[in-house]
Amino acid sequence: MDRSELVHFGWDAEWATVFADVETSGVPGRISRVERGESDVVTENGVVRALSDSQRSQSSTAPVTGDWVVVSELDEVWTIDTILPRRTVLVRRDPGEREEQQPLSANVDVVFLAHGFDRPFRAGKLERFLVLAWNAGATPVVVLTKADLSDTEQSAELLGIVQAVAPGVEVVITSIESGVGLDRVRELLQPHRSGTLLGESGAGKSSLVNALLETEAQETQPVRSGDAKGRHTTITRDMLRIPTGGVLIDTPGVRAVGLWDAEDALYQVFSDITDAAAGCRFNDCAHVGEPGCAVRSLVDDGEIDPRRLDRYQQMIDELAEIEQRLVERERAPKGRRRR
């Protein structure tokens, strides 16, 4: 069967194999938007609006933007029958529920972490975004937007700071005014790869998508408009087809970036600290003043920023706290469980 349109959205031989194993009379498709339990699903014959099965059965997984699914039609009503196993999934801790995870998007290859030159840079925020991206199984790329608002010196300075926080991670400097960096973003989405944008509201995510699309598909809004109006212009996670290949998921600005089950990704982001820890006298050294602590001595030598060590330890504590709560919830008498 010809699935050339789906190929643009990331359909490949591996998805075809997975789909072939599903016993169904339905067709494959990819979720481009989720809204109040209904989803837009891109199929070979266009976009259909489908109901999610998870509304009927609370136990099944709710679909997210980027999911590959099987949809079928009965009396002109489309339903999502199956969500194909996710290759990658970007999750954070649910900002409302203390002990739940919230998937943000599925099956993305690259996560673009957007930060604008027009606002103060916060290392802790970038570190959290990096953990989310690596934990998803995707490759993070930092995008420094609005380059036209900074001069060469400022650009170089921020670039240096970012590279210290995110060693080994590619940084792309972009501007929708001058067009710089847009081709590199396009390249990273080829051949038919999937990306998602992550960043604070006003970072320029939707503008970047529009620049790549060369249309005004995504609504954007000046950052300095009255707060009362609410600046979170993008309210759904939309997957958009990039003309030169691949897709990009635009997302609402994220305020809270709680970590969820992300130890390995955390160690990866702070590899400077975890590598140094191998030299500590005690295997379980917490780097809080134990004798023979190799991490502390690097801090004393000025090799590791003490604030970075603080942030690392905070995130370790955060993950340990969730772990502890989950254990307690398991132990609680059944009737008293909160969920």
Q: Which residues bind ligand GDP (CB under 6 A)?
A: 145-146, 148-149, 175-177, 199, 201-207, 220-223, 233-234, 253
- Which sign does the torsion angle of CA 157, 160, 161, 166 carry? positive
Answer yes or no: are the C-beta atoms of 142 and 172 closer than 8 Å: yes
Answer yes or no: are the C-beta atoms of 33 and 234 closer than 8 Å: no
207 binds, among ligand GDP, Mg ion, none (CB under 5 to 8 A by kind): ligand GDP
222 binds, among Mg ion, ligand GDP, none (CB under 5 to 8 A by kind): ligand GDP
Q: CB 118 → ligand GDP: shortest distance, Å? A: 7
Please identify, among the stretches 9-17, 51-59, 113-121, 199-207, the one whose residues bind Mg ion according to the rule CB under 5 A: 199-207
65 binds, among ligand GDP, Mg ion, none (CB under 5 to 8 A by kind): none
What residue has token string 């990704």?
265
150 binds, among ligand GDP, Mg ion, none (CB under 5 to 8 A by kind): none
Which is nearer to ligand GDP, 205 or 287 (by Cβ)?
A: 205
Which is nearer to ligand GDP, 10 or 204 (by Cβ)?
A: 204
Answer yes or no: are the C-beta atoms of 111 and 141 closer than 8 Å: yes
Please tell me whether residue 113 adopts helix, strand or coil conformation.
strand
Q: Does 210 bind Mg ion (CB under 5 A)?
A: no
146 binds, among ligand GDP, Mg ion, none (CB under 5 to 8 A by kind): ligand GDP
Which is nearer to ligand GDP, 52 or 145 (by Cβ)?
A: 145
Which is nearer to ligand GDP, 66 or 181 (by Cβ)?
A: 181
Beta strands per DSSP E along the chain: 27-35, 38-43, 46-52, 68-74, 77-83, 89-93, 101-106, 110-116, 139-145, 171-173, 194-199, 238-241, 247-250
Which is nearer to ligand GDP, 43 or 65 (by Cβ)?
A: 65
Q: Does 206 bind Mg ion (CB under 5 A)?
A: yes
Which is nearer to ligand GDP, 105 or 175 (by Cβ)?
A: 175
d(CA 301, CA 303): 6
Give the CA angle between residues 25, 29, 33 to the nearest 5°. 135
176 binds, among Mg ion, ligand GDP, none (CB under 5 to 8 A by kind): ligand GDP
Helix axes 306-331, 123-136, angle to 10 degrees: 50
Which is nearer to ligand GDP, 185 or 273 (by Cβ)?
A: 185
Which is nearer to ligand GDP, 47 or 223 (by Cβ)?
A: 223
Q: CB 203 → Mg ion: shortest distance, Å? A: 8
Answer yes or no: are the C-beta atoms of 249 and 105 closer than 8 Å: yes
Q: CB 74 → Mg ion: shortest distance, Å? A: 36
- Quick note: the x/- pattern for Mg ion over 81-120, rule CB under 5 A, is ----------------------------------------
Q: CB 8 → ligand GDP: shortest distance, Å? A: 23
Answer yes or no: are the C-beta atoms of 246 and 192 closer than 8 Å: yes
Q: CB 48 → ligand GDP: shortest distance, Å? A: 27
The secondary structure of the chain in percent helix, strand, coil, rounded to multiples of 5, reads: 35, 25, 45
Output the six-digit token pair for 124: 């802790």
Residues 217-276 that bind Mg ion (CB under 5 A): 234
Answer yes or no: are the C-beta atoms of 82 and 166 closer than 8 Å: no
Give the CA angle between residues 111, 113, 118 to the nearest 5°. 160
Binding site for Mg ion (CB under 5 A): 205-206, 234
